[in-house]
Chain A
């Protein structure tokens, strides 16, 4: 779980809702530029069982996703954060593997949507 998924390449790019908003162009580009690092951090936190870091990263994306024009990212990050907070203290992170996969997939799609422009 939460390993690079070859199927991502086939999923459609996810453009920002603000792709055509000149006042948002720069910040959306900055966000897209940060996506690879965020994905690496999410994957590392998940694989090392670091629940605190994973919760913080999900929380940040939940708060920011819709602001950059990606409401789907906010929903996916919110679902992950809620699951993490609902986990018992000794619960294994494997219980949220599906939510992590979903979030990483959306990040990758957003990254490609930014590079390729809106579709």
Chain B
């Protein structure tokens, strides 16, 4: 499993061009080719708004003077939609009045290029907008990455988990989620100091990154608590993974305190598809299993299969 930040950096950036002139599309296709961009073309405002959501462009080049829906209206819609509001928009326009430029910038455009434009100049302006886009993406990802471990943090889990549950409910896909909490972690901190505690937390992070698959999402929820989201995984397969993590963690020898092993308790809830739990209910059920694992002696996995009419699966 790798942080998703890397995936974004490798993808070919998409530039969405919204302009009713086929000439502009042609010329940009020729002139922006060396930039390694994938150009997506829209010949009207409504078509552009649809593509802005479905293609998640890194930059939008937007004409103002279009029939049906003008560029100002398109720009306003892009900035009002949370899915598109952070995409840098360069306005390409024949309208040259200062008021048009002020309006475009007030609505959120990052640049304004007047037609007929110099294509070499446009190219460097697109580059600048792409740099801005990359920085915004990086900032947004940093805000969702845990500083100590490099795993996704609670904010990312809160954002991602409801989508995963919706996918499970709507498309009947399998889904499992585990909450892990280290046993007696406070005494590690108290006995060996916080740097030793931090090393154990980092050790768990390394273990999760090694054991989880590319599709799994491992998060540090806070303190010594972690969560692992396992899309397209039923509870039986998730239980195998959780057991592997539990056993590997228990066996780990810590350089700062080789005499003291650390264990983890795990609450797991999974479904083979079409679960009827809400995202919150799912977390609550995993929490309850975690408490049971603690109450039954710690260093164990307690699992529940929430597939409709499924049998209860447990392991210890």
Residues of chain B contacted by A60 (CB below 8 angstroms): 21, 23
A63 touches B94 (CB 8 A): yes
**B119–A67 touching, CB < 8 Å:** yes
- The size bracket of the interface on A is 10 to 19
> Closest A-chain residue to B34, C-beta based?
A23
Which B4-38 residues sit within 8 Å CB-CB of chain A? 21, 23-24, 26-27, 29-31, 33-34
Does A112 interact with chain B (Cβ within 8 Å)? no
Determine chain B's interface SS by DSSP, over half rule.
helix
Question: In the bound complex, what is the Cα–Cα distance between A65 and B27 (angstroms)?
Answer: 10
Whether B65 sits at the interface, judged by CB under 8 Å, is yes
Smallest Cβ-Cβ distance to A52: which chain B residue: B67
Closest to A71 in B: B116
The answer for the CA separation of A60 and B116 in the assembled complex, in Å, is 10
Q: State the majority secondary structure of interface residues on A.
A: helix
Cα(A38)–Cα(B24), bound, Å: 16
Interface size class of B (residues with CB under 8 A): 10 to 19
Q: CB < 8 Å: which of B21, B29, B31, B34 contacts A64?
A: B21
Most A CB within 10 A of own CB, among B26, B33, B65, B119: B26
Interchain CB contact under 8 A, A68 and B27: yes
B184 within 8 Å of A (CB atoms): no
User: Is B192 in contact with chain A by the CB < 8 A criterion?
Assistant: no
Query: From residue 1 to 40 of chain A, which have CB atoms closer than 8 A to chain B?
Result: 23-24, 26-27, 30-31
Name the residue of chain B whose CB is nearest to the CB of A28: B30
Say whether A64 contacts B30, CB under 8 Å: no
Looking across the interface, which residue of chain A has its beta carbon closest to that of B94?
A: A63
Complex CA gap A24/B24 in Å reads 13
Cβ-defined contact, A63 with B21, below 8 A = yes
Residues of chain A within 8 A (CB-CB) of B27 are: 27, 64, 67-68
Q: Which residues in B have their C-beta under 8 angstroms from that of A67?
A: 23-24, 27, 116-117, 119
The residue of chain B having its C-beta at the shortest distance from the C-beta of A25 within the complex is: B30
Asked if A64 contacts B23 (CB within 8 A), the reply is yes
A62 at the interface (CB under 8 A from B): yes
Across the interface, name the chain B residue whose C-beta is closest to A67: B27
Residues of chain B within 8 A of A63, CB atoms compared: 21, 23-24, 94, 115-116
Q: CB-CB < 8 A to A51: which residues of B?
A: none
Choose one: B31, B33, B94; the contact of A59 (CB below 8 Å).
B94
Residue positions of B touching A, CB distance < 8 A: 21, 23-24, 26-27, 29-31, 33-34, 65, 94, 115-117, 119
Q: List 14 A-B contacts (CB under 8 A).
A: A23-B31, A23-B34, A24-B30, A26-B30, A27-B27, A27-B30, A30-B26, A62-B116, A64-B116, A66-B116, A67-B23, A67-B27, A68-B23, A74-B116
Q: 12 additional contacts, CB 8 Å, given A31-B23, A64-B23?
A: A23-B31, A23-B34, A27-B30, A59-B65, A60-B23, A62-B94, A63-B23, A63-B94, A67-B27, A67-B119, A68-B23, A68-B27
User: Which 8 residue pairs across A and B have the least CB separation, nearest first?
Assistant: A64-B23, A63-B115, A66-B116, A67-B27, A27-B30, A27-B26, A74-B116, A60-B21
